[in-house]
Amino acid sequence: MNRYPHSTRLLVAIDCIIFGFGGEEIKLLVIKRNFEPERGKWSLMGGFVNEEEDLEVGAERILFELTGLNNIYVEQLQTFGKVNRDPVERTISVVFFALINIHNHDEESVRVHNAAWISLKNRPALIFDHEKMVEIALERLRYKAALHPIGFELLPEKFTIPQLQKLYEAIYDMKLDRRNFSRKILSTGLLVDTGEKNENSATKKATLYRLDKERYESKFHAFWYFMPDL
C-alpha cells in the first residue's frame, strides 16, 4: 500500500533506556548481544516498529518483553537518524526512556535476553550511538527530576526520606543536606506517612512514606525546584 509513490521507506526501530535505582547508584538495564554485528557488546534493548503498532505501544511491548512490567513510566526521548548510525542498513531509532522499580522486574526475562543491570556512572561502552542516547537520557532525567516529582518512579511503593535523598544524590552525583532535603520534600505535601518504619535498618528506623497519588497527579506538571543550583 504505497500511496505516496515516490518516497523512500526506512527501517524504524525503537530503543529503550531503562533506569533503575540500586539503593546507592543509578543502574541501566542493557543486553549483551548474542548476534552480529557487535556480538558480545552491550546494547540497549530495542526492536523494530510493527506495521500496525503505534510508537508508544511498540515501546511498551519491548519494555514488557524484557522486564515483564506494564504500566511503567515511559517517555519519548528523541529520535536518532544519522545515515550511518546502524552499519547494517539505515535505521531510524525512536528512543524512549523508562523508570522502573529495580526490584519488580522479571528475573527470568532478563536472563533469557542475556540482559543485566549495569552501573550508569561506570558503564562499559555501548554499541552504535547508544552511548549518546544514554548521555541525553541522563541529561533529561536530571532536567526532569529537578522540576517534577519523577524520582518516585524508581522507588518501591513505600520508601524513606533518606532513601529518596540517596536517589537524588545518585541522579545528580552530588551530596545534599539531610535537613534541607527533608524539609523541601515534605513541604510538597506529596508524601504520606504510612505509620510504618523501615525494619531493615541497623540503627534508628526511618519512617516509611508513600506517594499521595492524587496530589502527585495534580501537581505533576507544576514547575518546581527540587534541587539547589545545578
Partner DNA sequence: CCAAAAGTGTTGAGCTTACACCCATGT
Partner DNA sequence: ACATGGGTGTAAGCTCAACACTTTTGG
Q: Does 113 bind its own copies (CB under 8 A)?
A: no
Taking the least distance from each CB to its own copies, the nearer of 107 and 223 is: 223
**Which entry of its own copies, DNA, none binds 203, CB below 5 to 8 A by partner kind?**
DNA
Nearest residue to 145 via CA among 43, 30, 26, 45: 26
Q: Does 204 bind DNA (CB under 7 A)?
A: yes
Taking the least distance from each CB to its own copies, the nearer of 90 and 184 is: 90
Q: Does 156 bind its own copies (CB under 8 A)?
A: no
Among the residues of 49-188, which ranges form H helices? 55-67, 107-112, 130-147, 161-172, 178-187
Instruction: Cell 544524590: give the residue.
Output: 169
Helix, strand or coil, per DSSP, at residue 62: helix
Taking the least distance from each CB to DNA, the nearer of 104 and 180 is: 180
> Rounded to an integer, what distance in angstroms lies between the CA atom of residue 13 and that of residue 94?
6
Helix, strand or coil, per DSSP, at residue 152: helix
Binding residues for its own copies (CB under 8 A)? 1-4, 7-12, 48-56, 76, 78-83, 88-92, 94, 146, 222-223, 229-230
Binding residues for DNA (CB under 7 A)? 160-162, 177-180, 182-184, 187, 197, 201-207, 225, 228-229
